[in-house]
Amino acid sequence: MSWTDRVAVFDLETTGIDPATSRIVTAFIGLIDADGELERGTDWLADPGVEIPEQASAVHGVTTEIARAEGRPAAEVVAAVRAGIEWIATHGVPLVVFNAPYDLSLLAAECRRYDLAPVVVGEQVVDPLVIDRAVDRYRKGKRTLVDMAAVYGVELLDAHTAGDDAVAAGRVTQAIAAAHPDEVGALPLEELHRRQVEWHEAQAADFEDYMRRQRDPDFTADRGWPQRP
Residue-wise pLDDT for 128-177, tens only, equals 999 999 999 999 999 999 999 999 999 998 888 999 999 999 999 999 99
200 is a domain residue: no
Q: Where are the beta strands (DSSP E) in the chain?
A: 6-14, 24-33, 38-47, 72-73, 95-96, 125-126
- Please give the pLDDT value at position 159: 84
Is 203 part of a structural domain of the chain? Answer: no
* CB contact at 8 A, 7 and 174: yes
Residue 192 in any domain: the answer is no
**Residue 23: inside a domain:** yes
**Contact criterion met (CB below 8 Å) for 74 and 23:** yes
Domain residue limits at 104:
3-180
Please give the C-alpha separations between residue 155 and each of 131, 167, 216, in angstroms, as whole numbers. 19, 10, 38
Amino acid at 208: E
CATH code at 99?
3.30.420.10
The SS3 of residue 140 is coil
Tell me, yes or no, whether 148 lies in a domain: yes
Dihedral angle of Cα 85, 90, 95, 100, to the nearest 10 degrees: 60
Kindly state whether residue 151 falls inside one of the protein's structural domains: yes
What total number of domains does the chain contain? 1
The vertex-31 CA angle with 26 and 33, nearest 5°, equals 145
Angstrom distance (rounded) from CA 7 to CA 174 = 9
Residues of the chain with pLDDT under 50: none
d(CA 176, CA 3): 13
For residue 229, the model assigns a pLDDT of: 85
Residue 193 domain-assigned (yes or no): no
